[in-house]
Amino acid sequence: MEDIVKNGYLYDFYGVLLTEHQREVYEEAYFNDCSLSEIADEFGISRQAAHDLIKRCDKILNEYEEKLGLLQKFLDMKQDVERMKEITRVIESNDNKKEIEELKLLEDKIYNLL
């Protein structure tokens, strides 16, 4: 997964656990595509401090994911739902019992993740 997309997902899941200042700087960097100079000027910090804070936030978010695994569970469920959609299309075109059984297994797997 591309780092920018992954960082966005990690922020969606764990951003609320960052401090308000960390969230503001991180959002400027990733969502508003501000340069380190722009962030430094806006928050009254050095470019190096802005860089360090962004890297620290990345590390914090990745540590939360390592401990909790919410992003991976989400991506697994998303993949399972996509597979369910594929199976549903096959079932609609052929009455195939193998696909129906696989669909039931995926449904159970997703239900147990919730």
Domain ranges (residues) in the chain:
3-68, 72-113
**Would the pLDDT of 95 be above 70?**
no
- pLDDT tens-digit series, residues 15-43: 999 999 999 999 999 999 999 999 999 99
The mean predicted confidence, pLDDT, of the chain is: 90
- pLDDT tens-digit series, residues 47-59: 999 999 999 999 9
Output the six-digit token pair for 93. 């075109």
Give me the percent of the chain exceeding a pLDDT of 90.
Answer: 62
User: Cα–Cα distance between 43 and 113 in angstroms, integer?
Assistant: 41
At the topology level of CATH, where does 3-68 sit? Answer: Arc Repressor Mutant, subunit A (1.10.10)
Output the six-digit token pair for 90. 């096959």
Number of neighbours of residue 87 by Cβ within 10 angstroms = 19
